[in-house]
Chains A and B, each alone.
Chain A
Amino acid sequence: MERDSKLKTFVENIKFPLLAILLSFLIGALFIIWTGNNPLVAYGALLSGSLGGLDRFGQTLLKTTPLIFTGLAVSFAFRCGLFNIGAEGQYVIGALTTVAAGYIFNSIFGDLPRFIFIPLVMLAGALGGALWAAIAGFLKSKLGVHEVITTIMLNYTSIHVSNFFVRTALNPSTLEGTTQKAYTVLLPESARLTQLKEIIPWFGYSSVHTGIFIAIICAIIAYFILFKTTLGYEIRSVGQNSHAAEYGGISVSKNLVLAMIISGMFAGLAGATQVAGLNYKVDMAPISPGYGFTGIAVALVGKNHPLGVLASALLFGILSNGARRMQIEGIPKEVVGIIQGIIIIFIAGERIIKFVSEIRERRNRKCNVEGVN
């Protein structure tokens, strides 16, 4: 019977997102018809482009990997009642510290074995993201500065900090005496993640790397922390009702900072795996790549549940990878953006409906409670 009720809550939880996704595709179809195309062709291309064959699926997983991390980052903070808009900045700093750690460890210890070197650079990326997030966490818990403001501002700061280091301390011209480049030194070979096609050749042209496994493990870790540990209990308590948490002897400020740090670690790992698995360097960039922002949508669609994040990151991966194939078929890839937008509106819409009904409920309850005195 217990299993039954669990199954029921599971169905209850995914019912709405699934419906939202379905509806979004239907509305997207209208737009495709409007542009004079056949939606079946378009969606066929979308699906075959992202799932048709192991090489294409590999490419989808490649796009999914950073989104899992940033989705986890946003949802973990959200469980503590924090809106971490700054996964983007934490991603940027994480990527930067990964490259830096790669260079530093390599120059101190020479060629390290992969099973030591890879965890080291991953840790560096995670710590970079954590540090960046901790700034917002401390400002929130000590001074009450709202995290939305600080994380947005830190996003801008991060890109400038990154560009500064790319131009100076981490530039090949500084470290290797070459001419000035628009990117950092490369990550040493033995710090790089293995590409799956090296093990399974059917992945073909796809550059998907073992970062996807790290992402899945992180989702499981996030789930474990949130729902099986005392820390998770406290974080969720603070997120749901900080007054009650305080009453139960839980330190609100400590948990805010901790949740922000862990959230930043996930975002930092997004940067670390992207560097160690795909780019091997950090480029000069006028703007950041946007994984952190998409992570907000991923978290929203995944209902802030680590396992939901896995599914929704995959959905976003499918959409963004399939969009290319759709464009080849002559259908504007913006349709995918529209579908993504509509999914988010629907899911946010559910929130709005719930929010309004909760306020109404609360008001009623207040009347009842006061009425009795």
Chain B
Amino acid sequence: MNYVVEMKNITKVFPGVVANDNVNFSVKKGEIHVLLGENGAGKTTLMNILYGLYEPTSGEIYIKGEKVEIKNPNIAIEKGIGMVHQHFMLVEPFTVAENIILGTEPSLYGGLKLDNEKAVEEVNRISNEYGLAVDPNVKIEDISVGMQQRVEILKALYRGADILILDEPTAVLTPQEIEELGVILRNLANQGKSIILITHKLKEVMAMSDRVTVIRRGKIINTLNTKDTSGEELAELMVGRKVNLVVQKEKREAGKSVLEVKDLHALDNRGVPALKGISFEVKAGEIFALAGVDGNGQTELIEVITGLRNAIKGKVLLEGEDITRLKTRKIIEKGVGHIPEDRLKRGLILNHTIAENMILGDHHKEPFSKNGIMNYDIIHEHAKKLIEEFDVRTPSEEVNAKSLSGGNQQKVIIARELNRDPVLLIAAQPTRGLDVGAIEFVHKRLVEQRNRGKAVLLVSLELDEVMALADRIGVIYDGKLVGILSAEEATEKKLGIMMAGGKA
């Protein structure tokens, strides 16, 4: 028995939900163990129990063979458990060293002054010990996200962690950074640290882990050796049915240009230039994907195209017609469908019913509205039809949009936008926050749209998604297009370099 962590028969009940149902989970010394599951499957809950953020309703935890009760994170840290959260808990204006020693500061004059030299020395020591290079003297706000994550890991190690929990560690990283993280974690494991990764990304499971435990609806489905399994098998275990991971897509010739963006300039909300002369076109019958790290002008670009933001220079043409200065309503009427990147902020009115949400944008037109009076009978019929057609899981069309799950909310939006039969569909992060099953659905719909000869502009931060769906891929960096690759020539490496602003 060489388990460092054993969680036995853990059950955690929240009011109305069983988040963990009689879960058994154990981790060996020196292994990288992935906890795999969809959103809401209960993986984060389980780890929060281990880290002392929640108390289990029932069950026992053993750390290195010793039975423990982890009532709070301090006890967890004492027992050698460290957690790196999705959202980094770093003090931005402080230096790397200050952040790492925070809470256990070496001090001078009996606690009056921080012993900065010693702090830097300590940080250098552990950073050398584990091969995690950082500059202790730079401020957190000046370093990349990948670096910040490294600081978080060092912080945990500094506190003596030999069991490391990482919650969705790759969510914010570029492909290159993910690769580096993999190397770092492998090194740590080789030095005897045990690592638990929480993720739902199959590729990373296969690349990084020794063993994988699949959790579905609060129950452990199976624990497997990574080398004995495959992505397909894991996906099936995770979702509970066969999933088609590969997007089926026939080659087809793109038609005439539908959307043309010419030398577009625009400011962001703070009045700083966000688009600095971007040009590209999207043709009928193709999916044109715009890849890039978040915050490089994607949001502003979509807003300008859809009339939600003013351009300061340049043109947007839809089927040859200048739509740059048109109002959103007109642009919708010209045939632009838009799946917004933030469905809660833009896409849905959460306190409106599903039926009311399904007409947003068309609400002023017949048959939904006639002479300024709404026809709610028709609106409800319309919603029922779309719910059926797009398989939205809801008790009825009269419930508020906020009571749906993320995947079903997205289906409502997609149903609404596709029902309008747009010539151009803009899909911004269309699978953000969705589980595997819903992602499959969204991808299928996008490809369908393309196959019907419509133009699709896909904006995504997920390289896998971009590469799976796109016919052509443009990379946006700092408000400009770095370049365009065809699906055949695009590789993760090339795109990664371009996303950082380099030429492929």
A interface, CB within 8 angstroms of B = 2, 5, 228-234, 236-237, 240-241, 243-251, 362, 365, 367-373
Task: Report chain B residues within 8 Å CB of A368.
Answer: 39-40, 406, 433
Among residues of A, the one whose C-beta sits closest to the C-beta of B461 is: A373
Could you say which residues of chain A place their CB within 8 Å of the CB of B462? Answer: 373
Given A229-B373, A237-B349: A370 touches B86 (CB 8 Å cut-off): yes
| 9-residue interface stretch from B22-30, B179-187, B337-345, B492-500 | B337-345
Residues of B within 8 A of A371 (CB): 39, 44, 86, 167-168, 171, 433
In the bound complex, CA of A373 to CA of B429 (Å): 9
Q: How far is the CB of B158 from chain A (nearest CB, A)?
A: 25
B87 within 8 A of A: yes
Q: How far apart sit A194 and B171, CA to CA, in the bound complex (Å)?
A: 71
Given contacts A244-B348, A371-B433, A373-B432, 11 further A-B contacts (CB under 8 A): A233-B369, A237-B352, A240-B351, A241-B350, A244-B345, A244-B349, A245-B360, A248-B360, A249-B328, A249-B364, A372-B39
A230-B363, A233-B356 are known contacts. Are A240 and B172 too (CB-CB below 8 A)?
no
Nearest A-chain residue to B398, judged by Cβ: A5
* Alpha-carbon distance A6/B45, docked complex (angstroms): 36
A284 shortest CB reach to chain B, Å: 43
- The reply to whether A367 and B87 form a contact with Cβ atoms under 8 Å apart is yes
In Å, the complex CA distance between A2 and B398 comes to 9
Contacts A247-B328, A373-B432; is A229 near B344 (CB within 8 Å)?
no
Contact B356 A247 (CB under 8 A): no
Please state if A240 and B349 are interface contacts (CB–CB under 8 Å). Answer: yes
Residue B113 CB within 8 A of the other chain = no
Once the chains bind, are A369 and B347 in contact (CB under 8 Å)? Answer: no
B166 CB to nearest A CB, Å: 12
Q: Are B433 and A240 in contact (CB under 8 A)?
A: no
Q: Decide: B44 and A231 in contact? CB cutoff 8 A.
A: no
Contacts of A228 in B (CB 8 A): 373-374, 376
Is the C-beta of B320 less than 8 angstroms from some C-beta in chain A? Answer: no
SS of A interface (majority) = helix
* Number of chain B residues whose Cβ lies closer than 8 Å to a Cβ of chain A: 48
- Inter-chain CA distance A368–B38, complex, in Å, is 11
Q: Is B346 an interface residue (CB 8 A)?
A: yes
Cβ contact within 8 Å between A245 and B349 = yes
B327 contacts chain A at the CB level, 8 A cutoff: yes
A2: chain B residues within 8 A (beta carbon)? 398
- In the assembled complex, the Cα of A314 lies from the Cα of B167 at a distance in Å of 55
CB neighbours (8 Å) of A367 from chain B are 86-87
Does B308 reach chain A (CB closer than 8 Å)? yes
Is A244 a contact of B374 with CB atoms below 8 Å?
no
A365 x B344 contact (CB < 8 A): yes
Binary CB contact string for chain B from 240 to 267 against chain A (1 if under 8 A, 0 otherwise): 0000000000000000000000000000
Please encode chain B, from 351 to 369, with 1 for each CB lying within 8 Å of some chain A CB and 0 for all others: 1100010001101100001
Interface core residue of A232, A245, A247, A251 (most chain B CB under 10 Å): A247
Does the CB pair A373–B172 fall under 8 Å?
yes
Q: How far is the CA of A237 from the CA of B351 in the complex (A)?
A: 9
Beta-carbon contact of B86 and A229 below 8 Å: no
- Chain A hits for B328, CB < 8 A: 246-249
Which chain A residue shows the least CB distance to B402? A361
**17 pairs across A/B with beta carbons < 8 Å?**
A230-B369, A232-B374, A240-B352, A243-B346, A244-B347, A247-B306, A248-B332, A249-B327, A249-B361, A251-B329, A367-B86, A371-B44, A371-B86, A371-B433, A372-B39, A372-B168, A373-B432
CA–CA, A234 and B350, complex, Å: 14
Q: How far is the CB of B245 from chain A (nearest CB, A)?
A: 17
* Contact yes or no, A234 B363, CB < 8 A: yes
